[in-house]
Amino acid sequence: MAIAHHLAAEGVTKIALAALGKDKLENVAADIRQKHPGTTVLTRETDVSNFSDCELLVAEVLNNFGSCDILVNNAGIAGVSPFEVATAKRLDAIIDVNLKGTMYLARCVLPSMMQAGRGHIVNIGSMSTKRIEPYNTIYMASKIGVLGWSHGLRAEMQTRKTGVTVHLVNPGILSDGGMAVNHPAATRAVMAEAIKAGGSSTRSEVADAISKVIKYDIPEMTVNSKDFKWEVYEPVTEWFKAVAEEQLMPKKVGLCEGQHSIQV
């Protein structure tokens, strides 16, 4: 988790990692402890689409650390699919994790932040909020929901003078993770053309953006190597089409199904 490593390098000494997959969590925690001596790392396997899981996570963080100053909402699953074949289960999963999970975790941690009179909630959005993406419409809906809610909650916190602030970071296509490494070579070749047309970002660039929005209280930052417009980018569409076709083939595994969330 590049974000956790970056925050540790920036001087955050108490970090809680939450995701599905206990072994992966423990491996990341051990790596952080080794590379950043003196950093305390707590791990808890958490399904952010389950409100009770989020409550238990926050309770454990507050019990061990006393407070939570920064929440990075980085949970997400992909939603590439022709819309007419998406099942209700698939629709629910994408909205439950990408939108409701983000809101659940913020809802659970916000009272303690408001009581302390300080705190940063950083939500991870997407370039899907900045351009039109056929074959990716469910994911678009979930992330545009995060965008609207983030700005609304930020304004609410400011109006009420709580000392809590909310930020949004929108990564472009990750060139060094996620779909860039989880697909056959043919699909990755189409992705390369999508990046040429629509731009990309790296995990370290996204982590750096998170630090910047916190440090300078920036409402929203988009991390992408190219300028963008609210329009359809044909090579990006072709890439999503290729991914959708790949997923419809028998015995293919869904993409980016893991949830990843960092609580600091």
The one-letter amino acid at 59:
A
Are 151 and 168 in contact by the 8 Å Cβ rule? The answer is yes
Cα 88 from Cα 241, distance rounded (Å): 20
Alpha carbon distance 192, 198 (integer Å): 10
Which tokens sit at 26? 């423990």
**Interatomic CA distance for residues 245 and 223, integer angstroms:** 28
**DSSP of 197-258:** HH--B-HHHHHHHHHHHHHTT-SEEEE-SS---SSB-HHHHHHHHHHHHHHHSTTPPPSS--
Q: Spot the catalytic one: 104, 135, 139, 233.
A: 139
Query: Tokens in use for 163?
Result: 């000392």
Q: How far apart are CA 257 and CA 94, in angstroms?
A: 10
Rounded Cα distance between 217 and 139, Å, is 27
Tell me if residue 104 is catalytic: no
Best CA proximity match to 26, nearest among 45, 51, 48: 45
* Amino acid residing at 10: E
Question: 5: which strand partners?
Answer: none
Query: Active-site residues: which are they?
Result: 139
